[in-house]
Amino acid sequence: MTAASAPSDLSALEAELIGEIDRADNLGAIEQVRIAALGKKGRVSELMSQLGKLAPEERKAFGAAVNQLKTTVTDTLERRKAVLENAALSARLANETADITLPVRLGPQAEGRIHPVSQVWDEVTEIFADMGFAVAEGPDIETDDLNFTKLNIPPEHPARQEHDTFYLKPRPDGSRLLLRTHTSPVQIRTMLSQKPPIRIIAPGRVYRSDSDQTHTPMFHQIEGLVIDEETHLGHLKWCLEEFCKAFFEVDEVKMRFRASHFPFTEPSMEVDVDAAAIGKPGRWLEILGSGMVHPNVIAACGLDPERYQGFAFGMGLDRITMLKYGIPDLRDMFSADMRWLRHFGFLPFDIPTLAGGVSS
């Protein structure tokens, strides 16, 4: 019988092991203690292997004592391990907190902004599409014939001067291309290429050699054209009124049709809206020119003016954008200032729909 087998030695060993367990202050240390005590060559396991050397009458009591020690050490280890695991988890949670009060980051798609003019371009297209208008296009570089002559503006007509045209270099045959001064040439292109009934809008850029607080050398218009056999002035007024109500998102909009003059319409009218639509009642704001398409224009496109008639309008897109969204200076629209765009621009997700109230 060795000294180590005495019961008092077992309780000394037990006290020693429990002390080691209590001092272990992390999961790695506790594992070391476990291996040193209960591992194959651990101190408790060693005692077990001595059992065979004992006399049979001693074996039973000693075996029971060693088993008891093993159980005590195992339980103590487990408890200490649980305490350390909890502490480790708490420390991790304290370290890795996420601040859920931070605003959600929308991601890169939400970084860009849609220019207000682009947004209004889409709004207007949506409203007229609902009324059965198709979108037509024409080039920014036009011929004199389509921009002027076929629109009943003959070569020496004073309206040509009014338009402050940007001309390109003359071609060998003497003719000159130009930057279109309005979207009206798209009327001509459409009538030359399509059979009535015609119902189109044509949004796009136009150019005039003009620059001050309310004029920029490039701006945007939306042309409208309806040609069939029965359209009259009442249709024109109804159509523009419906448009204004939808666009300014109001039930009622006061409009004023003023007699005016354009070579390509007869009669011609300029249209003002009461700025009540944008919260400034009593002020009239001009938004478009319009009229019944002049018979000369219909004839110039190879259609019979006795049979076909209709209306046309040309609306200042930048103008109605400034009105609707309270943008004070026209020139800022084209200055490519990111601060301005962040302020007045739209999220790419804000796609205008009639169902969604166009702008909301």
- Binding positions for ligand PHE, rule: CB under 6 A: 182, 184, 262, 265, 289-291, 312-314
Least distance (Å) from ligand PHE to the CB of residue 291? Answer: 5
DSSP character for 63? H
Q: Given the complex with ligand PHE, which of 10 and 136 has the nearer CB atom? A: 136
Which amino acid, 342?
R
Q: Given the complex with ligand PHE, which of 13 and 269 has the nearer CB atom? A: 269
Measured in whole angstroms, how far is the alpha carbon of residue 34 from the centre of its chain? 60
Q: Given the complex with ligand PHE, which of 152 and 290 has the nearer CB atom? A: 290
Q: Given the complex with ligand PHE, which of 310 and 352 has the nearer CB atom? A: 310
Distance CA 4, CA 7 (A): 8
Distance CA 44, CA 65 (A): 11
Least distance (Å) from ligand PHE to the CB of residue 337? Answer: 27
Q: Given the complex with ligand PHE, which of 76 and 183 has the nearer CB atom? A: 183
Q: Which residues contact 269 (CB under 8 A, 6 or more apart)?
A: 257, 258, 259, 260, 289, 290, 291
Q: Given the complex with ligand PHE, which of 48 and 285 has the nearer CB atom? A: 285
β partners of residue 142: 178
Least distance (Å) from ligand PHE to the CB of residue 304? Answer: 21
Least distance (Å) from ligand PHE to the CB of residue 311? Answer: 8
Q: Given the complex with ligand PHE, which of 244 and 312 has the nearer CB atom? A: 312
Least distance (Å) from ligand PHE to the CB of residue 224? Answer: 7
Least distance (Å) from ligand PHE to the CB of residue 313? Answer: 5
Class of residue 62 by CB neighbours under 10 A (exposed 0-12, middle 13-18, buried 19+): buried
Distance CA 29, CA 168 (A): 86
Chain residue at closest Cβ approach to ligand PHE: 314
> What stretches of 115-212 show up as alpha helix (H) in DSSP?
116-130, 144-147, 159-162, 185-193
Least distance (Å) from ligand PHE to the CB of residue 336? Answer: 25
Least distance (Å) from ligand PHE to the CB of residue 268? Answer: 6
Q: Given the complex with ligand PHE, which of 11 and 214 has the nearer CB atom? A: 214
Least distance (Å) from ligand PHE to the CB of residue 135? Answer: 16
> Which tokens belong to 229?
């056999």
Least distance (Å) from ligand PHE to the CB of residue 270? Answer: 8
3-state secondary structure of 5: helix
User: With helix as H, strand as E and coil as C, how does 273-312 read?
Assistant: EEHHHHCCCCCEEEEEEEEEECHHHHHHCCCCCCCCEEEE
Q: Which of 144, 143, 115, 159 is nearest to 289 (CA)?
A: 159
Q: Given the complex with ligand PHE, which of 116 and 314 has the nearer CB atom? A: 314
Distance CA 67, CA 47 (A): 10
Distance CA 10, CA 13 (A): 5
Distance CA 283, CA 309 (A): 33
Q: Given the complex with ligand PHE, which of 289 and 352 has the nearer CB atom? A: 289
Distance CA 170, CA 177 (A): 7
Q: CB atoms < 10 A from the CB of 132, how many?
A: 9
β partners of residue 220: 205
